[in-house]
A and B are shown apart, each in its own frame.
Chain A
Amino acid sequence: MLELGDYGTSDFLQILRRRHPELLATLDAPANTAGIHHYEGTTVLAVVYDEGIVIAGDRQATEGYQVGERRIQKVYQIDRHSAIAIAGAAGPCIEMAKLFQVEVEFYEKTEGVSLSLEGQANFLAHLVRSNLGLALQGLIVLPLFAGYDVKRQHGRIFKYDAIGGRYEEDDYYAIGSGGKDARATLKKRYRPKLSQHDALGIVAEALWDAADEDIATGGPDFIRKIFPMMNLITEAGVSEIPDDTVAALYRELIARLEQPR
């Protein structure tokens, strides 16, 4: 039966909490999950360039010291101008990305206007905070949120800590098990006003270095044709870089690394 009661709210999470708390089980009601095997997502990053922002991630999920999944998706489009990349316990991560996407779209459809980028970033902090119970048991879910701010006309990056703290980065950021290694590369390579090609180049290199240093992060896999996922967000919207282009970026990088120094 159709319920008209919740008319006043554009908050999907609030409706689920009230009517279908069972659908939020992993978010709201943590059982004792410590020590249970699960998949972990590893390195994701975002880099601002002159036309917008690149958001990317490797494709590997690990289960302990094993490869759990080789082509997991860690970057999800949220609305026309934003995307989220996730690191941590894969199951709850993907669920958080899905819920976040529905929340933002629900707001847009009911209100008739898009939720602002800042509003999306704040709501995500709230979702991360809801996950605290799981985080305390070691099942941390950490998002990296990136978007093109249509009003301010530039790319923006938001990072979070496990208790829902929200912090903005101006140029680039990387999180996950190989995040520190990726950041080291980005720190040396980043320049303001990068072109799209250069931005994709340093993204490929940062993920390469993360895979090189961190056992959990996957590199480009030319045999299985699995390559890191890279999305561009510009005024025109979110677009995914085709695998062929990413493969070419890596061939370029490998050719450079092979040159004798």
Chain B
Amino acid sequence: MSTPYYVSPEQIRQDKEDFVRRGIQQTKEVIVLAYRDGLLMVAENPRKTTFKISEIYDRIALASAGRIAEYEALRVAGIREAEIKGFRYYREDVTAKWLTNLYSQHMGAVAQAWDAKPLEIELLVCEVGSEDGLHGNQIYHIAFDGIYWEEEKYAVIGGRAAAIRDILEQEYADNLEMQAAVQLATRCFQTIEAAAEEAYDITPQTIEVACLEHGAERRKFRRLSTQEIAEIARIDDAT
């Protein structure tokens, strides 16, 4: 009989973290930032129907970097749990904090399981505040292992998140108008792409933009069309 080999918990944790980091390093970024009328979400994404940013519930949206299939499963499960909770109690009882805990528990359980690979995703759960300013915006950043923290004003996920955060630290200002906010986000992408070995064109077709507008009706989420992005971001079309 062979002796079972011993691997320290630290080693297991480190291996999993390295594995996920390698995966996430390859992924394109998503930026979430507070602007005058709510929260703006911008991602590099050339696809037309598979999104990285999506509506979960009235005031809540989800953004993700990493494997689309894993994100998709969490997205749909989140919508389902939110609808069940809102149907059972009241729509306002569905909050980003509650949803973040659900995701966090699930991702933590998967990351700790012996027989499963950790999820190769990072999430931002965003909830827009009220128009009167009584309730502020909330942005929760969830790492692959379920650990989460609150972000203020802006948050970035994806491979080169740190580089973008450096730019935002310099250039971010409170109460930006939507146009300025979209332009700031695209400028971040252009800057990091200019530094990349294989630069990726930032055009209205290759970025995804959505917002949570606090003044909107019940459903605050709105996805901008390519045409709207072109008008608002004023990026020169590469083609």
A and B assemble together:
yes
User: Could you tell me which A residues sit within 8 Å of B by CB distance?
Assistant: 1-4, 6-7, 12, 15-16, 19-20, 23, 98-99, 102, 105-106, 109-110, 112
| B18 is an interface residue with CB less than 8 A from chain A | no
Residues in B whose Cβ lies below 8 Å from that of A105: 83, 219
Q: Are A3 and B77 in contact (CB under 8 A)?
A: yes
Cβ contact within 8 Å between B84 and A2: no
Q: Per-position contact with A for B76-112: 1 when CB-CB < 8 Å, else 0?
A: 1111110110111000000000000011011001000
Q: B147: shortest Cβ distance to chain A, in Å?
A: 16
The interface residues of chain B lying within 8 Å CB-to-CB of A3 are 77, 81
- Cα A23 to Cα B88 in complex, Å, equals 7
Complex: how many Å from CA A229 to CA B211?
32
A4 near B77 with CB under 8 A, answer: yes
Which residues of A have CB within 8 Å of B109? Answer: 1
**Is B55 positioned at the interface, with any CB of A under 8 Å from its CB?**
yes
Q: Find chain B residues with CB under 8 A from A6 CB.
A: 77, 80
Could you give 27 example pairs across A and B, Cβ below 8 Å? Answer: A1-B102, A1-B105, A2-B74, A2-B77, A2-B81, A2-B103, A2-B105, A3-B77, A4-B74, A6-B77, A7-B73, A7-B76, A12-B80, A15-B80, A20-B84, A20-B88, A23-B84, A23-B87, A99-B87, A102-B83, A102-B86, A102-B87, A105-B219, A106-B80, A106-B83, A109-B54, A109-B79
Whether B87 lies near A16 (C-beta < 8 A) is yes
Q: Cβ of B74: which chain A residues have Cβ within 8 Å of it? A: 2, 4
Residue contact B102 to A106, C-beta cutoff 8 Å: no
Known: A2-B102, A110-B79. A15 touches B84 (CB 8 A): yes
Distance of A177 Cα from B56 Cα, bound (Å): 40
Of residues 46 through 78 on chain B, the ones whose CB sits less than 8 Å from some CB of chain A are 49, 51, 54-56, 73-74, 76-78
Contact B77 A106 (CB under 8 A): no
Residue numbers in B under 8 Å from A20 (CB-CB): 84, 88
Shortest distance from the beta carbon of B26 to any chain A beta carbon, whole Å = 24
Contacts of A102 in B (CB 8 A): 83, 86-87
Which partner residue on chain B sits nearest A19 by CB separation? B84
On chain B, the residues within 8 Å of A1 by CB distance are 102, 105-106, 109
Chain A residue nearest in CB terms to B103? A2
Residues of chain B lying within 8 A (CB to CB) of residue A12: 80, 83, 87
Q: B214-234: contact bitstring with A at CB < 8 Å (1 yes, 0 no)?
A: 000001000000000000000
Select from chain B the residue with minimum beta-carbon distance to A23: B88
Contact B79 A106 (CB under 8 A): yes
Distance in angstroms between the alpha carbons of A6 and B76 in the assembled complex: 9
Having A16-B84, A106-B80, one finds 16 other A-B pairs with CB under 8 Å, namely: A1-B106, A1-B109, A2-B78, A2-B81, A2-B103, A3-B81, A4-B77, A7-B73, A20-B84, A102-B83, A102-B87, A106-B83, A109-B54, A109-B55, A110-B76, A110-B79
Report the separation of the CA atoms of residues A102 and B218 in the bound assembly, to the nearest whole angstrom. Answer: 13
For the complex, give the distance between the alpha carbons of A51 and B87 in Å.
Answer: 33
A229 CB to nearest chain B CB (Å): 17
Nearest CB of B to A138, in Å: 26
User: What residues on B are CB-neighbors of A99 within 8 Å?
Assistant: 87
- Set of chain B residues within 8 Å of A112, measured between Cβ atoms: 49, 51
| Closest beta carbon of chain B to A150's beta carbon, Å | 16
Q: Which residues of A contact B103 (CB under 8 A)?
A: 2
Closest 7 A-B residue pairs measured CB to CB?
Answer: A2-B106, A2-B102, A109-B79, A4-B73, A110-B76, A2-B77, A4-B77
B150-198 contacts to A, CB under 8 A, are none
Given contacts A2-B102, A2-B105, contact A7 B86 (CB under 8 A): no
Residues of B within 8 A of A19 (CB): 84
A52 to B212, CA, bound (A): 29
Across the interface, do A98 and B105 meet the contact criterion of CB distance under 8 Å? no
Q: Give complex CA distance A88, B105 in Å.
A: 44
In the bound complex, what is the Cα–Cα distance between A27 and B57 (angstroms)? 25
Inter-chain contact A98/B76, CB cutoff 8 Å: no
Interface centre among B49, B56, B87 (most CB of A within 10 A): B87
